[in-house]
Amino acid sequence: MNVVLAKTETANATSDVIAVARDRLPGTGKVADLRRQALEAHQRLGLPHRRIEDWKYTDLRVLMREVLPLAAAPDAEALKRAAAALKLHAIAGVRRIVLVDGVFAPTLSETSDLGKDINIRTLREVLEAGDAALQAQLFAPDNSDAMVALNSAMMTDGIVIEVADNAAIALPLHIVHIASGAAPAAMFTRSLIRVGKHAGATLVESYIGAEGAKAYQVHDSLIVAIGDGARLDHVRLIEDSREAFNISSAVVTLGANAHFNTFGMNNGSLVSRYQAVISVAGEGSRVETNGVNLLNGRQHADTTLFLDHAVPNCSSREIFRAVVDDRGHSVFQGRIIVRPRAQKTDARMMTRALLLSDEAEADNKPELEIFADDVTCGHGATTGALDDSLLFYLRARGLSEKEAQALLIQAFVGEAIEQIANEALRELAISAAQRWLAARG
């Protein structure tokens, strides 16, 4: 019997996008085979929809509807617009690495004088160089998720960072994703950072749009490997255009006695989804994941975290805060899995949402799956409005209603922001929150 796979219109459209872009995708041989397998997986699955449990709150068939064509390689005018945007979002005291429309921009980046403790290459270089070990790691995320599979099939460029054993990288590494706004298009990037044994580094990722950039799509993926005794601090800042889509994923693996501290703030893009799979694979490791959504208008932001405790004597903490105004929609899904061998696990998760209007929505879904009996685990979720008695107290002392609300909101999100280890980056996040509050009507 012959079986024919019926493709949806969306799947056919995605195939057309990939067919047009094929000549621009780096890598041949094994890489091309892996891309083909990923494409076939995406075609089978199609865009995620609400009947898939992990995507029940973020139906891309309704919200996004289609995958846009691959963005053209940036020309001189696009780089000029990107440079102007970069000035507005500059961060002092970091080493900047810039991707414009999904392509590495050497003229806007600071990759000289790296020293012997760190090696930085582009994804295109690695895929075309034939480094089998690195290529295998870059394609390590499986194709069970449709958007991860799409990223594997279409990834055009990105950054590969290797930190040597025992190295302490003092200067934070800042990967900046910029949409130049040349035309509505999609960018497909994948980056990898490997932190050697007993090493330490800080990685910052920013997503921004140049003036005039509107309805573009960001499809990004990050792979992280943290060696034994190493530490990585990770900060994500989503400040995309208010008409943009940002679909990002991360796969993180920790060795023994490793430490991963990550913070994400989202106050941009129309629709965003960040999903991370964090595997605690070495004993004595610690994970801290913290996030803040600041949403208004019709913004939709989804944070989905899967934390897998596979070995004993590890700990994790998750703190997530959402402030939602107008008709915004915040989603947090957190699943902690404790495997049978992972005795003495200490895992806790708390998510809180603050709704500033009657039409705002927050969906919080914390989950625990525990298969070990000697553990300390807990989770909690709350949703509510600003406390009227506290507002009255502050207003009675001379503050306007807007000032009183801003003070309470700052205190609400402060617990998550305070977990950022780098003081300068912590102040940056606080400033971003203050700007959002100041812009409220």
pLDDT value at 246 more than 60: yes
Considering the chain, what percentage of its residues have pLDDT values greater than 90?
Answer: 80
pLDDT average, residue stretch 251-270: 97
pLDDT band at 6 (very low <50, low <70, confident <90, very high): very low
Q: Are strands 118-122 and 159-163 parallel, antiparallel or unpaired?
A: antiparallel
Per-residue pLDDT at 438: 85
Task: Return the structure tokens found at 344.
Answer: 């003495």
pLDDT average, residue stretch 227-254: 97
- On whether the CB atoms of residues 91 and 428 are closer than 8 A, the answer is yes
DSSP 104-118: E-GGG---SS--TTE
Domain locations along the chain: 9-282
Which residues fall within 8 angstroms of residue 379, CB to CB, at 6 or more apart?
334, 336, 348, 349, 350, 366, 367, 368
Per-residue pLDDT at 66: 92
Torsions phi, psi of 277, nearest 5? -115, 115
At 236 the three-state DSSP class reads: strand
Strands (DSSP E) along 255-360, which ranges? 259-266, 271-280, 286-295, 300-309, 315-324, 329-338, 346-355
Report which DSSP code applies to 69.
P
At how many degrees (to 10) do helices 9-21 and 146-154 cross? 20
pLDDT tens-digit readout, 113-171: 888 999 999 999 999 987 888 888 999 888 999 999 999 999 999 999 999 999 999 99
Q: How far apart are CA 25 and CA 130, in angstroms?
A: 15
